[in-house]
Amino acid sequence: MSSAELSKNSEMEAFEPQDYSTTILNNVKEMQDRLDALSKNIFSKMDDITTKIDELDKTVSGMEADLQTPIATADDSQEVPTPEE
Residue-level pLDDT, tens digit, the chain, 85 residues: 556 565 555 555 666 778 889 999 999 999 999 999 999 999 999 999 999 999 999 999 999 888 887 766 555 555 555 666 5
Can you give the pLDDT at residue 52?
A: 97
- E strands, 1-85, in order: none
The whole-model pTM stands at 0.48
Angle at 41 between CA 39 and CA 44, to 5 degrees: 110
**Domain contains 16:** no
C-alpha to C-alpha distance for 11 and 20, rounded to whole angstroms:
10
**Domain contains 51:** yes
Domain count for the chain: 1
Can you give the pLDDT at residue 34?
A: 98
Can you give the pLDDT at residue 42?
A: 98
**Domain contains 47:** yes
Backbone torsions φ then ψ of 44, nearest 5 degrees: -65, -45
**Domain contains 24:** no
**Domain contains 45:** yes
